[in-house]
Structure 1
Amino acid sequence: MAEEKEAAEAVVADLHKKITEAFDVFDHESNKTVDVREIGTIIRSLGCCPSEGELHDLLAEVEEEEPTGFIRFERFLPLMTKVLLERRYRPAPEDVLLRAFEVLDKQKRGYLTKEDLTKYMTLEGEPFTQDEMEEMMSAAVDPDKNLVLYKEYVSMLLVEDH
């Protein structure tokens, strides 16, 4: 029983360390607060992939009663620890990502054009912003072929599961 408790405490301590390190990157004033607009980036850097709606719900849990535009570490740490322990917002597995691209690639060519991908990502579902599209394209587009070779891109998207 004691060994299980020690193992659980070690897992939590490791998560606290990872969360603290991720938070500190954006704590520019070193005052244990970050801009509310950075929380999505912090959460995603920890291997979670919440939708915008889920991210909004998380923010509602950690924001002050009277929103200040900043999130305090002391409120973020317990919530993020719980999220990670529960393995919430896991990224899509490789086979699901590949199938999604294959559905878009109606001619089964193994690639999408930048224009096609932009159209799908900005007009369907939860649309990407211009900034999100630029960031995605910088990683997704093969510079030599000027195409999105999605099998290669999917392998870049995979998050190591620790």
Structure 2
Amino acid sequence: MTDSGEKESAESMLAEIEKKITDAFEIFDHEANKTVDVREIGTIVRSLGCCPSEGELHDMLAEIEEEEPTGYIRFEKFLPMMTHVLMERRYKPSPEDQLLRAFEVLDQDKKGCLSQEEITKYMTEEGEPFTQEEMDEFLSAAVDPDRGVVLYKDYVSLMAIEET
């Protein structure tokens, strides 16, 4: 038997997670009808501190999409799947040191920065490519306005989401 304190803290943690998911979903539920556009799910999932790859996101969608795809995801299907993901702490972002090492591998000349051209090449041609929209968003956030390069040591701390 677990004592009631443990049970209550697990229940309150679950309630807190479900509230976070509900709040994030409602931001994108423009019609207030408990559905969101399927294209918004990636943004909602990432706003909850999860960073699945496009393939993993596709698998998540396959799990919760209607038999006949409508282009919308219903809250009643999203909530249990997302609760499960958060409870298992799946798709957690990389901590700072891993991100920093990844940038250092790309920075072969050890300059401490990457040009917009270099970073665009790596992020659109290697692995799971960024879309043009994702690339524009990344560059607008990451490029140092004075030097026109990505000073990745400064940027890594913004990218790493703190463990809670």
Structures share a fold, TM > 0.5? Answer: yes
Contact 2:96 2:157 in 1 (8 A): yes
SS at match of 2:73: strand
Structure 1 stretches of at least 4 aligned residues deviating more than 3 Å after TM superposition: none
Structure 2 partner of 1:135: 137
Q: In structure 1, what residue type is equivalent to 2:23?
A: E
The 5 A counterparts of 1:40-55 are: 40-55=42-57
Q: In structure 2, what residue type is equivalent to 1:9?
A: E
Where does structure 1 lack aligned partners over 5 or more consecutive residues? Answer: none
* CA distance in 2 between partners of 1:144 and 1:21 (Å): 37
Where does structure 2 lack aligned partners over 5 or more consecutive residues? Answer: none
Aligned-pair CA distance for 1:79: 0.5
Structure 1 partner of 2:62: 60
Say if 2:93 is the partner of 1:91.
yes
Aligned-pair CA distance for 1:93: 1.2
The 5 A counterparts of 1:2-151 are: 2-151=4-153
Aligned-pair CA distance for 1:158: 1.4
Deviations 1:62-114 (A, max 9, x none): 11111110000000001100000000001011111000100010110100000
SS at match of 2:56: helix
* CA distance in 2 between partners of 1:155 and 1:144 (Å): 19
Could you tell me the TM-score, scaled by structure 1's length? 0.99
* CA distance in 2 between partners of 1:41 and 1:121 (Å): 19
Q: Cα RMSD over matched residues?
A: 0.6
* CA distance in 2 between partners of 1:159 and 1:85 (Å): 17
Could you tell me the TM-score, scaled by structure 2's length? 0.97
- Percent identical among aligned pairs is 70
Contact 2:18 2:83 in 1 (8 A): yes
SS at match of 2:36: strand
